[in-house]
Structure 1
Amino acid sequence: MTHGSRAPLRQGDGGPFVRFQVRYYGRLGVPVGIFAACHHLRSAGRLTPADDELFTTVDDWFIARLPYPPFYADGNTIRAVPWFKPGAASLIDALAPLEDLLRRYGVAYDVVRSPDPGTIIYEDDFQIGVLPYVRRPAATSTPAASGPSG
């Protein structure tokens, strides 16, 4: 799906686990997730003040509601990748403003479903953390930081 033209997510469309990811690879060797992509836009100075505030609001909303996986405590040295579980529909719906940010800043992304995204090393009510079966070498630059500004 290019630039967020996602259809409603339905059970059985590729698997129960869902991940929002852009089309460039990051330090984990997998496509960068939606939150990291928005952080890249922010750190590159590409977000307007209003969009920066929007991202902060959405990020804070998730921090207040989504358990913080322990693998993030040390900077994710094990390189785990989070995926939403089927019961996370309200959280998935709350990503809409971030999807809009990616579209407006020209960052293509996909909504990916998988029945088996990797070896599960963490699980809570809303998400799993996995060690992916396949990784690519990490990218040396972030296209979100240098891509179109529109």
Structure 2
Amino acid sequence: MAAHTLRDEGDLTSDEHLELREALSWFNEQLFVPRVLERLEHRRAISWFKPAAEDAIRRMWHLKYLLDRHGHHVEVLRTSEPGSVVYEDDWQLIAKPRKGQRFW
């Protein structure tokens, strides 16, 4: 959401604007958004990158730095206990936190 806000409302240079558009396009093209997320009971689900998603993780770090430079703080979270898995593929795992489970 912060990336879209920055794209639409941020004070970006033309190079930064292009960089952001390319990053968002890459994620939209490369990451599958499963239909299971449309279900109301999965509204709290969180998507986590798996270690094998090296390219996606590298690109996400780059996006984080761009957002940070423009005042949009991005917290990086890691866990070995993501909660109840509702979807998984080669790059990502989507899970609902267990009751009372917090990551921040």
Which 4+ stretches in 1 moved above 3 angstroms?
Answer: none
Seq. identity, %: 33
- The alignment's TM-score, normalised by the length of structure 1, stands at 0.55
Q: Distance in 1 between matches of 2:90 and 2:83?
A: 18
Q: Which residue of 1 aligns with 2:31?
A: 66
Per chain length, whose mean CA-contact separation is higher, i.e. which structure has more relative contact order (CA < 8 Å, sep 6+)? 1
Q: Distance in 1 between matches of 2:48 and 2:27?
A: 14
> What residue identity is the alignment partner of 2:89?
D
1:87 touches 1:126 (CA, 8 Å); kept in 2?
yes
SS at match of 2:62: helix
SS at match of 2:67: helix
Q: CA deviation at 1:96?
A: 3.2
Q: Distance in 2 between matches of 1:105 and 1:135?
A: 30
Q: Whose strand fraction is larger, Structure 1's or Structure 2's? A: 1
1:118 maps onto 2:78 in alignment: no
> What residue identity is the alignment partner of 2:79?
S
Q: Which runs of 5+ in 1 are unaligned?
A: 1-35, 137-150
Q: Which runs of 5+ in 2 are unaligned?
A: none
- The alignment's TM-score, normalised by the length of structure 2, stands at 0.75
Residue correspondences, number? 98
Q: Which residue of 2 aligns with 1:56?
A: 21
Any residues of structure 2 matched to 1:106-145 within 5 Å, and which? 106-133=71-98, 134=100
RMSD: 2.3
Any residues of structure 2 matched to 1:1-150 within 5 Å, and which? 36-43=1-8, 45-48=9-12, 50=14, 51-72=16-37, 74=38, 77=40, 78-79=42-43, 80-133=45-98, 134=100
